Every structure is written in C-alpha cells, then in structure tokens.
Amino acid sequence: MSEHFTTLAGVVVDTRHWIGGERVASAETFTDISPIDGSPLGEIARGGAVEAEAAVAAARAAFPEWAATPRAERARILHAIADGVEKRLEDLARVETLDNGALLRSHRRGVMPRVAHNFRFFADWLLKLEHEDFETRGHTNHVSWDPAGPCVLITPWNAPLMLATWKVAPALAAGNTVILKPAEWSPLTASLLADIAAEAGLLAGVLNVVQGYGAEVGSALVSHPDVRRISFTGSVPTAKRIAAAAAANLTPLSLELGGKSPLLVFADADLDLAVDLAVEQYDNAGQVCLAATRILVESSIVEEFTERFTAKAARLVQGDSRDEATDLGPNIHPRQLEKIDGFVRRALDAGARAVIGGEPNAELGGLFYRPTLLADVAQDSEVVQEEVFGPVLTLQTFDTEQEAVRLANDTRFGLAATLVTGDRERAERVTAQLVAGTVWVNCFFVRDLRAPFGGSRHSGVGREGGNWSFDFYCDVKNTVTAPKGWQQEVTRHG
C-alpha cells in the first residue's frame, strides 16, 4: 500500500488533500491518533499557504460552470452524493468511530444517515426555493438567490462528517464551490467524502478538501481575498481570529461557537423525564455544543432529582466506542482530557462537591473521564461560566421562576436551553425570556433542517437551515421591473 493511504477497519482512506479533482500530497504530514486506544491512524498531508492558494484557485476556476448548472442538475448530483454516503455508511461509521471516538452504534443509526439526509434535504429545498413576486406602485419585485463564489468551511471534530455536510450541502446546492478544512483531530471521513462526491459526478474543483492546522492552512484560507463566504464551527477565540482575518476583505461569516446551555427543572415537571434529559447530556462524552451542562433545579425537588440522577448515571457503561453496550466513549485528545480535568480540579479546589465522578477513569486509563456532576458551585465560577466540552455537569438550585431565568441567562453564551415543566403557561413565559438560538421544552436535541440554527451572544453569528442557509450562501438579489417601456424599446430599435 502506498505511503499516501491508510487502511482502517478494512477501509482504505487516502491521506492526501483533494484539490481540483486530484489527490495532492504535501511536503509535511501530521499523525492522526485514535482516541480509543491511542493508536496511530495515518500520516495526514499537512497543508499550508501553498495548498490553500491551490484550493482557492481550483474553486474559483470551477465556480462559473457549477454556478451556471441548472438547479435540477445540481440537486441530482447532491442526491447522488447521498446515495454514495448510504452505500458506504458502514465504512464511514467505522472510520469516524476510530478517528473521533464517538459511539459506533450512534454513527450507524443516527449520524451517518443524517449525513445523507443533509444532502437530500438541501437538494430538495433548492428546487422549491422561491419568493413570491410582489408589487410596488405597479412595479414587480422579483427575489432571486445568486451563487456567491468560493466558500471556506471549517468544521469541528466532535461530529466531523455530519457537521461538515451541514455546511457543504447547502453551499453546493446554492451553486457555490467549496474548500472544506476538517479539524486536524478527525480528518479522515472528509477524505472519504471527496471520493464519494467524485464518484457521484461532481465537477472537479467544486469540492476541495484541505487538511492541516488552523494556524497554517486555516489562516491562509480565511484571509484569502477570493473567498466569498466563511462558515466556522468551533471555539470563540478561534472565531475572533477568523473574523479579524475576514474583516480585511469584508467576507461574510457564519459562526457557531458552542455554549453553556441550561436545563431548567421545575417542581411541576415529570421528574423521570427531567432525569432522563439530564443524563442524556453526557452523550458523546459531553462533547456536544448544544449540551445543557448547567442543571438548574427548583429547590423543593433537588434532593429527589439528585437521587434519581445519580442512580441513572451509575448505569452508564463507559468503554470502547466500538462495543454496542458502551454509552460513553473517550474524549478526543490528551489536550482535551487535560482541559476537562483542569476545570474539575479547580472547581473542587474552590469548594465544589463532586456528586459523581470528578476524575479520569483510572480503570480504563487513556482518554476516559468519568461522568461528573458538580454541586455547590457559585454562579460566577469558571466551571459555571466557561464551556468545558466534556462529561461535566453542574447542579444549582432556584426558588422562583424569575431566579431560574436569571441564572439561565447569566453567561456570555446563548446557544440553546432546555426546559422541563408540566405548566404550559409557565413554559411560554420562560421560553420568551431565555436567551438562546434553540429552546427545547420537555425534550432535547429534536432537530429539523427547516428550522433556523445558530446562537446568540458569544454562541455565534447568523443562522443556517432552510432558507437561512441559502440567504447566507447566496447573494440575494431583488429585481424591480417597471410595467411600461417595452413597446418604446421595440419602436426605438425596430
């Protein structure tokens, strides 16, 4: 096997970039490590300014033809990509499990089917994308969505392919060309996506995949003057650097930046439901931007809630992500585990109490951190205010509805919120006051691509999903036509 390939769980993955319809190597590589057992997965091409320039040039060259491709044909190709994803679903699931440590059963049953759905949804939405014409003093207004140009899409490591295609699919549907920069901790399924797209008949240069570090290839991409859109999912500090680079070219940005979401449990709630939703926040080892990591419980029920929560959390199985019985896998990287443990240790030193967990799982070793619930935490403490991005929840109490809302909104984030109550009127009052891009009432993580998605405050800029995606990835144009003048033009030139 060539040095440019790696074979994982029987799946061959090309470790080079995909630029202009060809595989491109780099002078340097970086080692991709599996969080499950620390084994090396491959030597990945490490891009920089040269590869960034080549990818943007390829995207720019391919743009006119792809932008002029009729909507129906673009939609057909996106459906063909979805067919390819479904055909290789098991390959994608196995590779991504090794690469980012998330559960194989989740990849098989939910994540990879969602990847295919992303392409199908935006392909179908494209065909019905329209705005009804309207009149202004007898003049006709016609709204259209024009492709913007090359788009740089920078994606995270916690759900690599699903979150990448959440951006890639609408950008391609809109008629744009794409440079995808996957996270360096989980780059492999992006490479497989390039193969699938090529097999589906996507024109060379329409989708480019460039691997490497953000400070190297990422910086070169987001500062490039020929890039027309940038979409990024990740941390606030990185987003600020991207925004500063994009500002020089006035490149429009869409930023989804994580959160510190609350879960409010009122005394009139279905307590079994509330506990189920709270324990669900440990999904993907807590590496979920939408996770409601701040559990806020009405004081009168906190003892019963805590008892039930502790019992249910104790039944979670932590272990190898490839095992069907596993509920919690490892965290992604040694640096991430160190960050998580640092948050917890500082909180404990400051007087917090670990109701459960509070340390790495010494029995498993490696990158496994015990599911943790911290009580006796101050509202202004670091662990309450900052995103941990690990299996760490905090428990606080409130006595009134007003106090619950105040605590829920008292962070710099505003991505999501979850509310559990048996009172419909209370739900309406509270949700109206919560600062969040998404609010779930008596449920969690119900997502629909027709809905707007994004965050408030430091959780992001902009919304994507449905028409909101096309509004971002296109130049929206309004054409105003006068009712008279046609005959005069014919007479003058005839």
User: Is there a contact between 172 and 207 (Cβ–Cβ < 8 Å)?
Assistant: yes
Separation CA 201–CA 151 (nearest Å): 20
Q: Report which secondary-structure segment, H or E, holds 272.
A: helix 271-280
User: Is there a contact between 242 and 229 (Cβ–Cβ < 8 Å)?
Assistant: no
Phi, psi of 180 (to 5 degrees): -95, 125
Q: In the structure encoding, which two tokens stand for residue 14, read together?
A: 């090309």
User: Is there a contact between 74 and 50 (Cβ–Cβ < 8 Å)?
Assistant: no
**C-alpha 429: how far from its chain's center?**
29
Q: Report which secondary-structure segment, H or E, holds 400.
A: none
Residue among 415, 421, 47, 91 nearest 209 (CA):
47
Helices then strands, each counted (H, E), the chain: 17, 22
Q: In the structure encoding, which two tokens stand for residue 412, read together?
A: 């710099």
User: Is there a contact between 340 and 369 (Cβ–Cβ < 8 Å)?
Assistant: yes
The length of the chain, given as a count of residues: 494
Supply angle C-alpha 379, 235, 395, rounded to 5: 25
Query: How many Cβ atoms sit within 10 Å of the Cβ of residue 83?
Result: 16
> What are the Cα distances from residue 319, in Å, to 229, 322, 366?
40, 9, 10
Which residues make Cβ contacts (< 8 Å) with residue 241, sequence separation at least 6?
219
Grouping H, G, I as helix, E, B as strand and the rest as coil, residue 106 is helix
Separation CA 289–CA 156 (nearest Å): 10
Q: Report which secondary-structure segment, H or E, holds 184.
A: none
Which residues make Cβ contacts (< 8 Å) with residue 227, sequence separation at least 6?
56, 149, 150, 151, 152, 179, 221, 249, 251
Q: Which active-site residues does the annotation give?
A: 256, 289
Separation CA 483–CA 470 (nearest Å): 29
Grouping H, G, I as helix, E, B as strand and the rest as coil, residue 265 is strand
